[in-house]
Amino acid sequence: MDITKETIKINKIICEKKEQIVVQGDMIVPDSKPDILNTINTDGNICIYKKEVFEGKLRLEGNIVSYIMYLADGEKNNLRGLNTTLDFSETIVVPELQIGMIVDIEPNIKNFECKVINGRKIGIKANVEISIKIRLPEEAEITTNVNDVNMQILSKKEKINSLLCEGNNKTYVKENVSIPNTDNLAEILNATISLVDKDIKISYNKILAKSEIELKLVYLTDDGRICKTIGRVPLVGFIDMPDIKEENICDTTYLIKNLIIKPNSIEEHTVYLEVEVEINCISYEEKEIQVIQDLYCPGERVNYDLKTLQTTSDRKTLKNICQIREKVNVPEIGNGEIINTSIQISINKENRLSGKMVLEGEMDVNLIYTDISTIGVNSKTITIPFTQTIEGVENNCNTSIKIEVGAQEFINQSGTIDANVDLNFETLTYKNVEIPAINNITEETEDDLEDYSVIIYVVKDGDTLWKIAKKYGSTVDDIVRVNGIENPDKINIGEKIYIPKYVLKRAKEPIVI
């Protein structure tokens, strides 16, 4: 018996889940800063610099680099800023997790809560959502053909996404971001970074991952002016990926591990930015394999091991831009100037119909603006609903959606805000596929076979010609031939079928001369 086998690599997904954690701490106002009357805004970035896998547990260590805008007590219209780093170590219970499995994470700060304890002390709490994916890459060997004249084989071709390779690399950015020469920086009021315009280029045995780090700054000058600027710094990383080709599919993720933002004491009119980013890439190749679903040999007992493998197919990434153009009435802003915005996106509803997916969501925008009529600076959160249609999403596929805030502009016209925001949607779609892996095939003679020349069988509910032929030791071809069946895939309940006995074909003995 000549057996043909093929090896496939599977990126087995053990589980996917989202966990909520709380990072909190107290901050003492430095002696060089005035007392706090009230906080205006809190913002920041999360870094994960250590990840440990235990049996049933995942341990994360990191920090949140946060900035607090506040009004100073006793100093009219005096907006000041504080910067603090909240360190954390969190153990998350994941019953499915075992040592040796790979864990991918994506942290996201949902919101901050800041409470004034007294004039010299504040409490900060960050609510964080951690998206966790646990996977186990493994190789599997499957039988694709058995070259035996008597063996009856039920098989079909399947297209699957076979894991090709994966790799990662840490890349570092150390740059000075310029502010206008007319501004002498006194202190940073708010600073956040985001990775935008992500792209990859596939070359020989490696990929080039490109992005830009966008730094949004709100700062105070030494003459008391509140200013803002946006700077961009290129981020480039090479990842070794053996045997990768341009037609392969790549899933690339970025994780901020460390972050430093501080005024540059050496070079005037600049802010020093240092970022450590880990880039991970998983590549797949589309394979078409012949999958044996079942087999038997008339007159012989066939034994084999059967294992069901779970993999994916039809993996693709869809990119869309949702252009939000809305006018929002915010009378309390009046003629004030918007000095900073931060945006949170949430998807509330998902509908699928006729090859597309319709998403309904909300964009929460926190506006920081000058308020001359009262306390100088204030904040206001507005909510803007949106709908986005993703074409090319089938009803039976899985999806994973990433949303990146692209170009944005908020213009105040006497209390009416023109909100112009582009949301970049990246939708990964794929299908789960179960592949039967048949191995260790052996044959032995069946001694207790019933002797017959033909059987008359009445078709029952759930019958197929394959099931009937296998049960009575015949073949589909012989049943089709004897009964003159035109379509082997269609038989009717109650129909009488003649089942002929199959005669084993034996190899002829060689003639010795």
334 and 458, same domain (yes or no)? no
The answer on pLDDT for 452 being more than 70 is no
Residue 304 lies in a domain: no
- Please compute the mean of the pLDDT values over residues 306-334 and round it to a whole number: 92
Residue type, 509: E
Which two structure tokens, joined as six digits, stand for 215? 């730094």
* Euclidean distance between CA atoms 210 and 212, whole angstroms: 7
Residue-wise pLDDT tens digits, 233-252: 999 999 999 989 888 989 99
Q: Tell me the residue range of the domain where 456 lies.
A: 450-513
Phi first, then psi: give them for residue 362, nearest 5 degrees: -135, 145
Question: Residue 284: its pLDDT value, please?
Answer: 93
Which pLDDT band holds residue 510 (cuts at 50, 70, 90)? Answer: very low
* Euclidean distance between CA atoms 396 and 352, whole angstroms: 10
DSSP line for 143-183: EEEEE-TT-EEEEEEEEEEEEEEEEEEEEEEEEEEE--TT-
122 and 37, same domain (yes or no)? yes
CB 105 within 8 A of CB 48: yes
Phi first, then psi: give them for residue 110, nearest 5 degrees: -80, -45
CB 193 within 8 A of CB 259: yes
CB atoms inside a 10 Å sphere around CB 327: 10
Residue 400 lies in a domain: yes
* Euclidean distance between CA atoms 32 and 28, whole angstroms: 11
Number of structural domains in the chain? 4
Which two structure tokens, joined as six digits, stand for 301? 């007992």
Residue 469 lies in a domain: yes
Residue type, 104: D
CB neighbour class for 199 (10 Å; exposed up to 12, middle 13-18, buried from 19): exposed
Residue-wise pLDDT tens digits, 188-213: 999 999 999 999 999 888 999 999 99
Q: Last residue of a domain, which of 384, 401, 432?
A: 432
Direct distance between the N- and C-terminal alpha carbons of the chain, in angstroms, rounded to an integer: 27
* Euclidean distance between CA atoms 343 and 363, whole angstroms: 7
Which pLDDT band holds residue 447 (cuts at 50, 70, 90)? Answer: low
The answer on pLDDT for 181 being more than 90 is no
Question: Residue 375: its pLDDT value, please?
Answer: 59
CB 477 within 8 A of CB 502: no
The answer on pLDDT for 80 being more than 50 is yes
Which pLDDT band holds residue 387 (cuts at 50, 70, 90)? Answer: very high
16 and 88, same domain (yes or no)? yes
Sorted by sequence, the CB contacts under 8 Å of residue 153 that are 6+ apart come out as 145, 146, 292, 294, 295
DSSP line for 4-46: EEEEEEEEEEEEEEEEEEEEEEEEEPPTTSPPEEEEEEEEEEE
Return mean pLDDT, the chain: 89
Residue 439 lies in a domain: no
* Euclidean distance between CA atoms 160 and 432, whole angstroms: 9
Question: Residue 361: its pLDDT value, please?
Answer: 96
136 and 4, same domain (yes or no)? yes
Distances (CA, A) of 15 to 48, 101, 136: 21, 11, 10
Residue 441 lies in a domain: no
Q: Last residue of a domain, which of 79, 108, 142?
A: 142
Residue-wise pLDDT tens digits, 250-276: 999 999 999 999 998 888 889 999 999
CB 376 within 8 A of CB 38: no
Which two structure tokens, joined as six digits, stand for 40? 């205006």
CB 92 within 8 A of CB 19: yes
Question: Residue 304: its pLDDT value, please?
Answer: 87
Q: What's the length of the chain?
A: 513
- Per DSSP (E only), the strands in 264-299 are 270-296
Strand order in the sheet with 249-263: 249-263, 270-296, 152-178, 300-329, 416-445, 398-413
- Please compute the mean of the pLDDT values over residues 65-92 and round it to a whole number: 88
Residue 239 lies in a domain: yes
253 and 365, same domain (yes or no)? no
The answer on pLDDT for 220 being more than 80 is yes
Q: What is the CATH number of the domain that holds 474?
A: 3.10.350.10
Which pLDDT band holds residue 107 (cuts at 50, 70, 90)? Answer: very high
325 and 280, same domain (yes or no)? no
The answer on pLDDT for 445 being more than 80 is no
pTM of the model: 0.85
180 and 265, same domain (yes or no)? yes
Torsion angle, alpha carbons of 43, 48, 53, 59, to 10: -40
Residue-wise pLDDT tens digits, 350-370: 999 888 999 999 999 999 998
479 and 500, same domain (yes or no)? yes
Question: Residue 75: its pLDDT value, please?
Answer: 64
The answer on pLDDT for 410 being more than 60 is yes
Question: Residue 443: its pLDDT value, please?
Answer: 79
Question: Residue 204: its pLDDT value, please?
Answer: 82
Phi first, then psi: give them for residue 13, nearest 5 degrees: -85, 115
Residue type, 21: I
- Please compute the mean of the pLDDT values over residues 213-222 and round it to a whole number: 92
130 and 159, same domain (yes or no)? no
Q: Last residue of a domain, which of 119, 142, 165?
A: 142
Question: Residue 372: its pLDDT value, please?
Answer: 65
Which pLDDT band holds residue 374 (cuts at 50, 70, 90)? Answer: low
- Please compute the mean of the pLDDT values over residues 305-331 and round it to a whole number: 92
325 and 274, same domain (yes or no)? no
Question: Residue 513: its pLDDT value, please?
Answer: 32
138 and 164, same domain (yes or no)? no
2 and 38, same domain (yes or no)? yes
Which pLDDT band holds residue 79 (cuts at 50, 70, 90)? Answer: confident
Residue 309 lies in a domain: no
Question: Residue 408: its pLDDT value, please?
Answer: 92
Question: What is the Cα gyration radius of the chain?
Answer: 32
* Euclidean distance between CA atoms 189 and 79, whole angstroms: 8
Distances (CA, A) of 257 to 46, 239, 392: 8, 17, 35
Using DSSP's 3-state secondary structure scheme, residue 269 falls into coil
Residue 308 lies in a domain: no
* Euclidean distance between CA atoms 380 and 366, whole angstroms: 6
Sorted by sequence, the CB contacts under 8 Å of residue 428 that are 6+ apart come out as 251, 315, 316, 317, 399, 400, 401, 402
From the list 401, 454, 445, the residue with the least C-alpha distance to 427 is: 401
**Alpha carbon of residue 177 to chain centroid:** 31
